Each structure stands twice: as structure tokens, then as C-alpha cells.
């Protein structure tokens, strides 16, 4: 009895593992694999792109990069609107104002026309790379703050860094 229930657990784990692996790479498109196999946070990359229809539907590297850029822009705008909401009632208003500027800049940098991706992918990549300096600015401004709003913005900023890395890789593989 004990051994058959052990077997059952073993089989379930094996099936779960297979589902998980299938989810992270076997079922991904070539374009998603090309990006996610090279980023720092592959698990997040596969999970996010495989559940984002425009990324799944991409049939070339430009569409795949656009999908990644769009996700990053959305996250930047979401963070911006959170900062705008909390900024007005803070004692550290000045810091939050500066963080708003950062996120406006990042959202703009992620808004890349497909024509630029095709004609000057290295220039699009440069614009994305500069965003790492922008999140460093946020870190320097509020990284040591202990209030809940600052901590939330820092969590969102760490996630922004992950999206910057994805966009960095997505615009890099275009040039290959």
C-alpha cells in the first residue's frame, strides 16, 4: 500500500515536472526561445511571454521585440501612475517627482517604432540600455526609504530592471 502511494507521488511529480518544462521551453516559439534563453531571469521571461498573446503570435523577431517593448512600456506606465497617485500626499514629494520623470523617460524609451527596430536596432538597443541608469536614479533617490510607498516603487523598479534586460536582449538578437 505504502509503495503504491509512493509510486503515485512519484508519477505525479514526474508529470508536473514535465508540464513545467514544457511550459518553459518546449512549447515556446523560436522567437520566445531566442530571447528567453539569453536573459538573466529566464523563468520570468518564459512565463510572461508565453502568457502574452502578441508575443506568442509573433512570426518574426521584430514582432517579438515589439511585444517585449510593449510589456515593458506597460509596466513603466503602471509604475508611473502609482507614483503619481502617492506623490501628492508624501513628505518626500521632491523624490517622487524625480521618480515620475524617470518613469516618463523609460516609457518613452520603450516606445520604439518598428521602423527603427528594422533600420537601426543598435540605436533602439542603446535607448533601452540607458534605462538601466534611470532605474539606478530611482534606487539612489528612494532605495533607502522605509515607507510603504517607496518600498512598493522599489519592488516595481526591480521588476522594471527585469523588463529592461528582456528588451535589451530582444533588441540585441534583432541585429544578429
Ligand X SMILES: *[C@@H]1O[C@H](CO)[C@@H](O)[C@H](O)[C@H]1NC(C)=O
Q: Which residues bind ligand X (CB under 6 A)?
A: 41, 44, 158-159, 162
Question: By C-beta, is 154 or 174 nearer to ligand X?
Answer: 154
Question: By C-beta, is 78 or 159 nearer to ligand X?
Answer: 159
Question: By C-beta, is 121 or 150 nearer to ligand X?
Answer: 150
141 Cβ partners below 8 Å, 6+ apart? 95, 98, 99
Closest distance to ligand X from the beta carbon of 49 (Å): 13
Say how far apart CA 86 and CA 57 lie, in whole Å.
37
Four-residue CA torsion sign, 106, 134, 102, 36: positive
Question: By C-beta, is 102 or 164 nearer to ligand X?
Answer: 164
Closest distance to ligand X from the beta carbon of 159 (Å): 4
Helix (H, G, I), strand (E, B) or coil at 103: helix
Closest distance to ligand X from the beta carbon of 8 (Å): 31
Number of other residues whose CB lies within 10 A of the CB of residue 159: 17
What burial letters (b/e) apply to 62-79, b meaning 16+ CB within 10 Å? Answer: bbbbbbbbbbbbebbbeb
Closest distance to ligand X from the beta carbon of 108 (Å): 22
Amino acid at each position: 500500500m505504502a509503495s503504491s502511494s509512493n509510486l503515485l507521488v512519484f508519477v505525479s511529480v514526474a508529470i508536473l515536472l514535465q508540464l513545467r518544462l514544457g511550459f518553459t521551453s518546449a512549447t515556446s516559439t523560436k522567437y520566445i526561445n531566442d530571447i528567453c534563453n539569453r536573459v538573466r531571469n529566464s523563468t520570468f521571461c518564459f512565463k510572461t511571454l508565453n502568457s502574452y498573446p502578441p508575443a506568442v503570435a509573433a512570426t518574426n523577431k521584430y514582432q517579438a521585440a515589439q511585444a517585449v517593448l510593449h510589456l515593458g512600456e506597460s509596466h513603466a506606465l503602471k509604475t508611473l501612475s502609482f507614483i503619481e497617485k502617492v506623490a501628492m500626499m508624501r513628505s518626500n514629494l521632491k523624490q517622487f517627482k524625480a521618480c515620475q520623470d524617470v518613469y516618463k523617460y523609460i516609457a518613452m524609451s520603450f516606445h520604439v517604432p518598428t521602423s527603427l527596430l528594422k533600420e537601426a536596432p543598435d540605436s533602439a538597443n542603446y535607448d533601452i540600455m540607458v534605462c538601466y541608469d534611470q532605474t539606478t536614479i530611482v534606487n539612489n533617490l528612494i532605495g533607502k526609504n522605509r515607507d510603504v510607498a517607496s518600498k512598493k516603487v522599489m519592488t516595481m523598479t526591480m521588476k522594471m530592471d527585469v523588463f529592461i534586460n528582456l528588451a535589451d536582449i530582444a533588441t540585441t538578437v534583432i541585429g544578429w
